[in-house]
Structure 1
């Protein structure tokens, strides 16, 4: 495994991280959540040198943090642990976002208890609360650093103005945002801002929520419980168009003797040493496939060929529903 520095923290973390959400939430049906396989995948991650793990208190409404605690109980010193706060659930299982200072301390204490750890390495606000000044949110997060419960602070899906305002309150170690061959909007302004300020870029959904894996070839590939079935990019009409781009990437990857997923991760890594993708998986097979992408070096000609494919195939559909899009890059 290759390692990269996270922003200005000086911390060396694996160039390929591990998104743990899918082990407990969102992808597939409830029958797909196999705790034994997930725990084996976490163990294999450490054996493969993947020391950067990403979770959140909303994944399975705390279940994902509890899952990770079973490995952290004996391997805490081997993991650079990131979690997030902010989404709260109502009795009808709908959620809303709360970035208030009053809630942050409560959320952190709950995560520490579920994870069964004394300190969280990287603590993100999962979104920016447009009803609370970002200075107040980050100020409350900074108090957690002073108390020794959190080491570094992060933002997720924040816009340029919020990033600058947050940085003025307390150093921000990382911005987590969706970035992949299918989602490149951060290249306009956000990436330039994080680089100017020395903030690391953690790319979630680097495989286009599974599009790059080749496992999704129709809506029928998705369980009715899978949250992707409601995302615009996976709806009938859009999905068929997006698979044209996937097919072109798969053909190019095959010429190089790699998978389209590995190509996607290698492309992200080639965009800069400050970028750390966190592909999610709950199976050992795919973990190993993702991990080896760190050793793939794409030439300038390879990158130009990929860019040509992207220019030839537009992405159809937004990455979230209309409601979800209102929460990103703000």
Structure 2
């Protein structure tokens, strides 16, 4: 394992977690599917590099080819890796209609995930992908707590929630992870924060220099931050981070991931390439002075555009 990432910086459900995790979205996108043989190699490399917290989702892919199907394939081939991985699965969410937080919908989502995994790997954390505005968070957590009690999931996670929601949820049952949540209250309650898209959906790799660098069918063309006008503004931030990366002899992605680590969060970068996984698992070690410099950069070049736009934007920070 990579010496920089194999060190446990967090524990989840009592298990040590490496400094950097691994996100599975990029391996199961229906618009750019990755061959299973390549995906397996990428996942194996992630574990070898110390990235032992894996985050997937039922809605990452199609009903017949999503994260769970890929995970079943991986752990069938590598059964001895199952206890080495802390697996977090997002669910109770529809890409068309948003979150479905009723107790019956949450149970159905968990049961669906378990049915696909077929016992090759436990679900260490089941994460509500978003908060259903029509269902009290206490009701959702009580339903998940029952599933923990039944042994169907190991713990509970939340994604894109407000500080108030974290407090309400944690009062019902201990929350094991928060995805892109608020840092202050999570530190207070000793809840690990998991940060998805730590390189800005590829922006901070430095490989995207203009909108035209995106393939015609790339889903990022639909996101507000990649629209003409917003792209050019956001690229100014990339260029500023590139200058820091050049001085340190690292990549912009390593600076971005190192910045997330300094916040005390667990970044879960996605990748479809082995060499990128190795790079991502070696985050830059940033000094206090460099963190201050990055703060000045962020102040000078604020991010332009909403994260998702449209109907999905309203489910953020619920």
Normalized against structure 1, the TM-score is what?
0.89
Secondary structure of the equivalent of 2:201? Answer: coil
Map residues 126-275 of structure 1 onto 2, 5 A cutoff. 126-177=129-180, 190-272=182-264, 275=265
- Structure 1 stretch displaced more, 132-141 or 33-42: 33-42
What is the CA distance between 1:61 and its match in structure 2? 2.7
Secondary structure of the equivalent of 1:6? Answer: strand
1:167-221 deviation digits (Å, cap 9, x = unpaired)? 11100011101xxxxxxxx6xxx21111111111101111111110012222222
Is it true that 1:288 corresponds to 2:278 in the alignment? yes
1:240-278 deviation digits (Å, cap 9, x = unpaired)? 111111011112101100000000111111122xx1110
Is it true that 1:20 corresponds to 2:20 in the alignment? no
1:134-191 deviation digits (Å, cap 9, x = unpaired)? 11111110111001111111101111221111111100011101xxxxxxxx6xxx21
What is the CA distance between 1:33 and its match in structure 2? 2.2
Secondary structure of the equivalent of 2:82? Answer: helix
When residues 6 and 158 of structure 1 are mapped into structure 2, their CA distance, relative to the original with a 3 A threshold, is: farther
Could you list the runs of 4 or more consecutive aligned residues of structure 1 that deviate by over 4 angstroms after TM superposition? none
- CA distance in 1: counterparts of 2:216 and 2:144, whole angstroms: 37
> 2:269: which partner in 1?
279
CA contact (8 A) 1:6 1:174 kept: no
- CA distance in 1: counterparts of 2:175 and 2:304, whole angstroms: 33
> 1:313: which partner in 2?
301
- CA distance in 1: counterparts of 2:184 and 2:43, whole angstroms: 33
> 1:183: which partner in 2?
none
From 84, 87, 91, give the equivalent of 2:93: 87
- CA distance in 2: counterparts of 1:23 and 1:271, whole angstroms: 27
Unaligned runs of 5+ residues in structure 1 are 178-185
What is the CA distance between 1:282 and its match in structure 2? 1.5
Query: In the comparison of the two structures, how many residue pairs are matched?
Result: 307
Q: Which has the higher contact order (CA 8 A, sep 6+)?
A: 1
From 104, 107, 112, give the equivalent of 2:106: 104
CA contact (8 A) 1:127 1:156 kept: yes
Unaligned runs of 5+ residues in structure 2 are none
Normalized against structure 2, the TM-score is what?
0.92
CA contact (8 A) 2:88 2:127 kept: yes
Secondary structure of the equivalent of 2:74? Answer: helix
Is it true that 1:38 corresponds to 2:39 in the alignment? yes
- CA distance in 2: counterparts of 1:119 and 1:54, whole angstroms: 13
RMSD: 1.6
What is the CA distance between 1:35 and its match in structure 2? 2.2
CA contact (8 A) 1:207 1:213 kept: yes
What is the CA distance between 1:312 and its match in structure 2? 1.9
1:63-88 deviation digits (Å, cap 9, x = unpaired)? 22111212222121121111011123
- CA distance in 1: counterparts of 2:214 and 2:97, whole angstroms: 23
